[in-house]
Amino acid sequence: MKVGESTQFQRVIGYFHGTIFLFSIIIGAGIFVAPKGVLKYSSLNVGVSLSIWAACAVVSMLAALSHAELGTTFPRSGAQYYFLKRSLGPFIAFFYLWTNLFSTPAGIAARGLLLAGYIMQPFYPGCFVPEMPKKCLALAILWCLGILNARGVKEVTWFQTVSTAVKMTVLGFISVTGIVLLVRGRRENLARFEKAFDADVPDASQIAEAFLQGLFAYSGWGVLVRIAGELKSPSENIPKCVVTALTLVALIYLLVNVSYLAVLTPKEIMSSDAVAVTWMDRVIPSLQWAVSLGVSSSIVSSLNCTIFSTSRLWYMASQEDLILLISYVGFTDWIQLGLMMVGLLKLRFQEPNLSRPYKVRLPFVFGTMAISLFLVLTPIIKSPQIYHIYVILFILSGLLFYLPFVHFDLGSTYFNKITCFLQLLLNVSPADDIDEYISTGGKVQKNPPATATKK
């Protein structure tokens, strides 16, 4: 690259590929692990469980459409960070980076552990997979995916295409089989749905926890805002991709959950370490290996998308229970989303003339804020857990780094040298100043040089 030449991502992702990318990253580990968590916090109430899955789809759509305004107003990759810095200040932006430094690898750890469990389950029929071999395999898988992403985009694209095709085949088979079983009308298949709401009704804190489990399965809808700098016409395509992908995902999730419950009782689902494998063992035992392979492909497809979209990440090996790990990730994610909605409102009044090609309605924003408060505060007030304290302490610990190194700018010369060395070592270059770009009428426009270069 020539000296003085700018470095920019090309806008090559359109509506179709954006929808496929969003569809691939959402459907992963969640649909195979979250049903257990949703049932647990729904007090094994089938009707409440299915209602929560449907409600999670509505909540995700509401939040995703509100969140989409960020990517359309600031159509640049990494728009969340710039938006928070501009609307709520540098500390909140630093908090966003600080929590993502650990919460994103925590989500990857959850999927890596689940993937390893599904791969090893056929070798341990009728019992739980040992923890140590499962963790070692999960770590090896993440190393392999890291190497794959380092080889280049073509290899990632090829791998993603194959794994997505496999996971859609498996989910389609599970969904269709469930419908067939219900249409055939076996008494044991229909009994759980005829008395769906007869079990105990969960309290408010349990419902909040169940929502966090279900929303984990829908997580990933914000990825298009993260890569907005590579989308064609982001103001038009981000909302369209979100509506299309989440509608399809919601339909598939409901059908898969109905299929699970048509074959397995809630107690059997709770006792299973791999729900889809147990389901196949009951329906067609000889094909248990096939569904294990398909589920693994589904998880690794979403996992690979996450690693690809977030560049370099660290693997955080967790010794917590998988359901608790999902609660932790959901807890921090909804704190961040609530702050983004506050920033969105502040920017609406602070900069009313800012070009907004896509402008979400305020009831959507207030609804997302209310849901965020409910999901974050209800578990703390009704049934406080020790991990809530850990999360709050972890967030506040960011001050130990923010105050000396960002606010007071101590050791900036030293860190600038380290940054320069790492850029040369890893063959990367600094991005252009994000203030150079604004969104005008749905198009990306560069500000005049005098404005863009002003310090």
Over 80: is that where the pLDDT of 115 sits? no
Over 70: is that where the pLDDT of 51 sits? yes
Quick: pLDDT tens for 143-180: 888 787 777 656 666 776 777 777 788 888 888 888 88
Q: Are 211 and 56 in contact (CB under 8 A)?
A: yes
Q: Are 315 and 139 in contact (CB under 8 A)?
A: yes
Q: What pLDDT sits at residue 300?
A: 74
15-388 CATH fold: Amino acid/polyamine transporter I (1.20.1740)
Nearest to 173 by CA among 270, 297, 55: 297
* Residue 246: both structure tokens together: 């989440």
48-54 mean pLDDT: 92
Q: Give residue 275's Cα distance to chain centre.
A: 21
Q: Are 213 and 34 in contact (CB under 8 A)?
A: yes
Flag the least confident range among 121-135, 161-175, 380-394, 437-451: 437-451
Amino acid at 100: N
Q: Crossing angle for the helix pair 234-263 and 275-283, nearest 10 degrees? A: 50
The residues spanned by each domain of the chain are 15-388
Percentage of residues of the chain with pLDDT beyond 90:
7
Flag the least confident range among 82-91, 230-239, 303-312: 303-312
363-377 mean pLDDT: 90
Is the pTM of the predicted complex or chain greater than 0.85? no
Q: What pLDDT sits at residue 78?
A: 67
Quick: pLDDT tens for 232-281: 788 888 888 899 999 999 999 999 999 888 888 888 888 876 687 788 88
Rounded distance between C-alpha atoms, residue 38 and residue 22, angstroms: 23
Q: Are 56 and 214 in contact (CB under 8 A)?
A: yes
Identify the residue with better confidence: 5 or 454: 5
* Residue 366: both structure tokens together: 């207030």
